Structure 1
Amino acid sequence: MKKIAIISDIHGNLPALQKVLEDLESRNISDIYCLGDLVDFAPWGNEVINLMKAKNIPCLLGNHDERIAYDLPIIPLSHHSEKETANRFVAINHSKKYITDENKQWLGSLPLNLELTVPTSKVNLNVLLVHASLNSNDEYVFEKDNKEQMLQELKNRQINIVCMGHTHYSYIQKTEDIWVINVGSVGRSKEADRKATYGIITFRDEEILPEIVKVDYNINAVADAIYKSEIPDFYADFLLSLD
């Protein structure tokens, strides 16, 4: 039996990441992969990157990481309000200013996707890790979306499982023996409880057993740190707006 953990979208939230890593240690899971978006929206972007480097956790290049690594322009998103757009510009520019050159270079070295092969007693199972979707680092793939084209491409590539993040909403779907898993967000979950969220996949012979895990962390302390930083209060208010 083999277990792997998939984390994503930390967004500078070091306390949430630390609690997730503690949870994984308690489960004795050492195979950990990160789907990207280490930076923006909380004050610990450098600390998150340094921890990932220290732990040798393989990471993908998320869209936020890409923007910071290559100093890409900030483009307004159609689904954001005027208020969120204004705050987003300030928060991302904060990361551009404070993420160290060394860490920017490290972010720029990260791959856009990663394919894992998990051997079993009869077949090899193939796992594809992406940040957002198979074809884009910015595309949102929600649970309700039609995935026919994506599933066909996965079938053609003989992929058994695809794991993604980006939306900050977790879900598990199985269609035609292909698993589509969104592992949610460690540091900026949009789910009602705002808990740090990640995924575990257990491989028991040819059986695939995915699960979504939610971990408590001190949201109030993170919000207080944002209020005391140059990051807009908007992002602290969001964490505290439990539905």
Structure 2
Amino acid sequence: MNNGTDMVRIAVFSDVHGNLPALEAVLNDIEKRGIQQKFCLGDLVDFAPWGNEVIEKIRDLNILCLMGNHDERIAFNIPVIPLSKHSEEETEARFVAIDHSKKNITEANKKFLSELPFHLKLNYKVGGRHWNIQLVHSSLWSNDTYLYKTESDELFSDMLKESQSDIIVMGHTHLSFKKYLNTCWAVNCGSVGRSKEDNRLASYLILTMNEKEIFPEIVQIAYPIEETALAIEESAIPDYYAAFLRNENISVL
């Protein structure tokens, strides 16, 4: 993308997980800030009951979106494999929640998910400077790799070098962070609809670019969590995820 302006701002968000109230809060906040360009890193479905509505809003607003691991699983009916890091309770809830999506996401929306790109590389010209931005769901190599702030700087530097980027932005872990590596950035924008941070706020990223620097700002905003929790309890999705959103002493990894 080519913009011969003095400053460019874009918004990047990820991991909505069927949580329409959280998505609407984030989109409203982006609009209030006057940011026109929005990108999603995937995982539109599972765990809250508005999977179809979330997909349709992303599609209708023409928001460029990547294929998260949950999107891929629902689109192609990939079997669920238990993860060793999950408790027995979470494993059982996870199976039920994903099965709910497989049964309830429409065929048209599954087709939409199946056609999403795996990565997205952006190039913005701001003044005389080109900025390269690499968007991934979880890493360059997979959409199901858990990379946390505690990973080595070398790992993120290798991704930046391989992608020839000034900044790499990811989601997937539901935990936001920023790491400055010499002149480059590795950033996790957190989760819109299923944050694992203690505050459970909806999280997204604003990238501001001028001719001299690119600056990432993680924004966290409140949304009606109780509305989502009640909707989960009124659906066939396990109440486990309502308790998690309320932060009722449940550890979800």
TM-score range with shorter-chain normalisation?
Answer: over 0.9
* Match of residue 213, structure 1, among 216, 219, 225: 219
Quote the offset at 1:146 in angstroms: 1.2
Q: How far apart are the structure 2 equivalents of 1:173 and 1:149? A: 12
Establish whether residue 115 from structure 1 lines up as the match of residue 121 from structure 2: yes
The 8 Å contact of residues 190 and 203 in structure 2, kept in 1 or not, is answered as: yes
Partner of 2:234 in structure 1? 228
Q: Deviations over 1:88-116 (max 9, x none)?
A: 00000000000000000000000110000
Ranges in structure 1 where 5+ consecutive residues have no aligned partner: none
* Match of residue 37, structure 1, among 39, 43, 61: 43
Q: How far apart are the structure 2 equivalents of 1:212 and 1:137? A: 21
Partner of 1:133 in structure 2? 139
Establish whether residue 196 from structure 1 lines up as the match of residue 202 from structure 2: yes
Quote the offset at 1:155 in angstroms: 2.0
Question: Map of 1:51-200 to 2, 5 A cutoff?
Answer: 51-200=57-206
Q: Percent identity?
A: 53
Quote the offset at 1:156 in angstroms: 4.3
Residues 106/169 of structure 1: CA separation in 2 closer, same or farther (3 Å cut): same
- TM-score (norm: length of structure 1): 0.98
Q: How far apart are the structure 2 equivalents of 1:204 and 1:242? A: 43
**Given residue 95 of structure 2, which amino acid in structure 1 is its aligned partner?**
F
Q: How far apart are the structure 2 equivalents of 1:117 and 1:86? A: 43
Residues 149/229 of structure 1: CA separation in 2 closer, same or farther (3 Å cut): same
Partner of 1:19 in structure 2? 25
Q: How far apart are the structure 2 equivalents of 1:150 and 1:23? A: 29
User: How many residues align structurally?
Assistant: 243
Q: How far apart are the structure 1 equivalents of 2:26 and 2:87? A: 31
Q: How far apart are the structure 1 equivalents of 2:212 and 2:94? A: 44
Q: How far apart are the structure 2 equivalents of 1:15 and 1:39? A: 14
Runs of 4+ in 1 over 3 A off after TM superposition: none
Quote the offset at 1:123 in angstroms: 2.5
Q: Deviations over 1:30-66 (max 9, x none)?
A: 1000000000000000000000011000000000000
The 8 Å contact of residues 9 and 165 in structure 1, kept in 2 or not, is answered as: yes
Coordinate RMSD, CA, aligned: 1.1
- TM-score (norm: length of structure 2): 0.94
The 8 Å contact of residues 165 and 182 in structure 1, kept in 2 or not, is answered as: yes
Q: How far apart are the structure 1 equivalents of 2:176 and 2:152? A: 16
Q: How far apart are the structure 2 equivalents of 1:219 and 1:19? A: 11
The 8 Å contact of residues 169 and 182 in structure 1, kept in 2 or not, is answered as: yes
The 8 Å contact of residues 122 and 206 in structure 1, kept in 2 or not, is answered as: no
Ranges in structure 2 where 5+ consecutive residues have no aligned partner: 1-6
